[in-house]
């Protein structure tokens, strides 16, 4: 099983599901270097929905990185696939609406004992207000469906203290600003979160 850069380089296509339709393979159009040894793979697919309604749109990609400490108790994480989904509602009475875009790639590097902050810099072209919440990372179980991975918040892998040393470490996201704050990491390693 390939992981990391090798797996990303081999991901020439991904599987999409549109409601009950799929899998449909989307071919990779482009690889962009976004810094810190990380690339963004760009896939494009065109799909026409048969009617108004709510549709679960999902994508699956094989092979997460190995040794991700807060997934699957840190074991065999390279055998877990990525599964991401969203709900699209097609309803003429709602008018047009665009999906928010996250402008800040999540490629930050934290330091043990130092308060860590990541903000996705979300932008909504319609000017809609945005709200943020944590979500448990998932893996595909087939046919466009997913299930939660064994997960723990990063600060529970190795409990420690906040940067000031005045209380236990905390981890969470600000629902209004989108600031993802870990105050503060206690163990170096790779972690995965979803929001």
What is the distance between the alpha carbons of residues 150 and 72, in angstroms, rounded to a whole number?
5
pLDDT value at 3 more than 80: no
Q: How far apart are CA 98 and CA 186, in angstroms?
A: 39
Which pLDDT value is given to residue 11? 80
pLDDT higher than threshold 70 for residue 4:
no
The band of 166, judged by pLDDT with boundaries at 50, 70 and 90, is very high
Instruction: With H, G, I as helix, E, B as strand and everything else as coil, classify residue 123.
Output: strand
**Global confidence as pTM:** 0.89
Q: What is the pLDDT of residue 2?
A: 66
Tell me which of 7-16, 95-104, 108-117, 138-147 is least confident: 7-16
Quick one: 26 exposed, middle or buried, by C-beta within 10 A (0-12, 13-18, 19+)? middle
pLDDT-based confidence at residue 170 (cuts at 50, 70, 90): very high
Dihedral class, residue 72 (left if φ above 0, else alpha if ψ from -120 to 50, else beta): left
Q: 57: helix, coil or strand?
A: strand
Q: Is the pLDDT of residue 126 over 70?
A: yes
176, with CB counted inside 10 A (0-12, 13-18, 19+), is: exposed
């Amino acid at each position: 099983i390939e992981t990391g850069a090798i797996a990303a380089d081999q991901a020439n296509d991904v599987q999409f599901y549109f409601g009950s339709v799929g899998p449909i393979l989307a071919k990779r159009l482009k690889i962009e270097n976004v810094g810190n040894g990380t690339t963004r793979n760009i896939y494009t697919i065109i799909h026409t929905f048969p009617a108004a309604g709510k549709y679960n749109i999902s994508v699956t990609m094989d092979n997460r990185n190995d040794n991700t400490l807060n997934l699957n108790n840190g074991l065999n994480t390279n055998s877990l696939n990525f599964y991401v989904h969203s709900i699209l509602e097609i309803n003429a009475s709602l008018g047009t609406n665009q999906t928010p875009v996250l402008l800040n790639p999540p490629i930050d590097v934290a330091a043990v004992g130092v308060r860590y902050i990541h903000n996705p810099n979300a932008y909504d072209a319609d000017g809609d207000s945005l709200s943020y919440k944590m979500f448990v990372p998932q893996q595909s179980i087939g046919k466009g469906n997913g299930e939660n991975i064994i997960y723990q918040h990063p600060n529970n892998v190795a409990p420690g203290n906040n940067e000031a040393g005045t209380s236990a470490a905390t981890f969470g996201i600000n629902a209004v600003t989108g600031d993802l704050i870990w105050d503060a990491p206690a163990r170096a390693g790779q972690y995965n979160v979803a929001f």
